[in-house]
Structure formats: C-alpha cells, structure tokens
Amino acid sequence: MSFVETAIDDRLVTEAEKAAFAVLPLLVGAAGEKRNRYAAQLADLMGDPGEFQHYLVGPPADRLARIDRLLHIFHENVELLVHKTWVEKTDEKPKERLLDDLFAVERDFRDGSIASAFKRFVALAHALAHLLFGAQSRASDFLVYCFRIDPKFGLFFWYIDQLEAQARASCLPSEDLLTVETLLGIYVLSSF
C-alpha cells in the first residue's frame, strides 16, 4: 500500500491534503495554462493561498522580477535555517555542502539549467530533512512523522518524494514541467 493510500485509510490527512494528492498528477499531465492552474491550486494547498500564481502569470518582466525576489527569499530562508540548526561536529561538512548546494540550485535556475536545478533542489530538500531530523529523515515512516508535526510540512516532503520519483525515471519530464515543479518547491520552502 502506498503512503497516500495508508494516510487516507488511517485518516492521517485532511481533505486539503487529499486534494493535493489528487492535484499533482493533474499538474504533471497538463500543459500550458492548465498546468499553471494546477500548480497554483497545489501551491494554495501547500503555501499561502493566492500567492503562487503571481510567479506564473503577468507580463514577462514582472514575472521575472517576482521570481528573482522569490529566489532571494528562498536563499535567505534556507541559509538562515542551516545556520540556526545545531549539529554535531561530524555533521559540519554536510552542513557546508548544503550551503554550496543552495548556491548551485539558485545559479542553475537563474541560468536556465532547469534539469540540473530540479535535481539539485530535490537533493537539497532531502539534505535539509536530514539536517533537521537526522536519521529519522530516512525512516520508512518519515512522511507520517512530518504530517503529524505539521500537515503543510508533510505535504512538502511528500511533494519532494514525488519529485524524486520523477528524477529517478529514465526520462525526465519536459523542461516546462520541471520549471513549474522546481519553482513550486522553492516557493513552498520559502514560505516556511
């Protein structure tokens, strides 16, 4: 039984989380304006309602300026989170690598190396989970643990697991889909 089926059967998730589980496959299967609507719908469930659509619609110059600002906020939030997290001396190197990865995600996204930014973002999210939760982040019940801490937190890491499954596929999705998915992940992580 998949996590989604288990979570629904065990009533671990609310109707909003169930909606997110249903929207992601629609987002992946859609294109163009329809994809943007599904992305905004998913972002509304995982972040602040009504905010994400501003990164997808509007004049290109305005959209790029908003995305640039989002990347800046993302960078500051993740860097602050990393610096505020206490770790054992043996975990200092992974913490430093995480900061290097943060710069790489941002650089790749800005440079239009979307497939690389996507893969690096998924790895960064997993590294953050490990930094925050240690070995628990690799436990089979990690998503259940996250949903119990905070449903939006759980949705974020469920989303990252879905992106990781795409990254493991032999053929990555289109660059347009990777852009929207990466931007959505950056948006959600910026909202914490």
Strand, helix or coil at 22? Answer: helix
pLDDT of the chain, 192 residues: tens digit per residue:
566 666 555 566 778 788 999 999 999 999 999 999 999 999 999 988 889 999 999 999 999 999 999 999 999 999 998 888 765 666 677 778 889 999 999 999 999 999 999 999 999 999 999 888 888 888 988 988 888 888 888 899 999 999 999 888 767 789 999 999 999 999 999 987
Distance of CA 36 to the CA centre of its chain: 16
The pTM for the full model equals 0.89
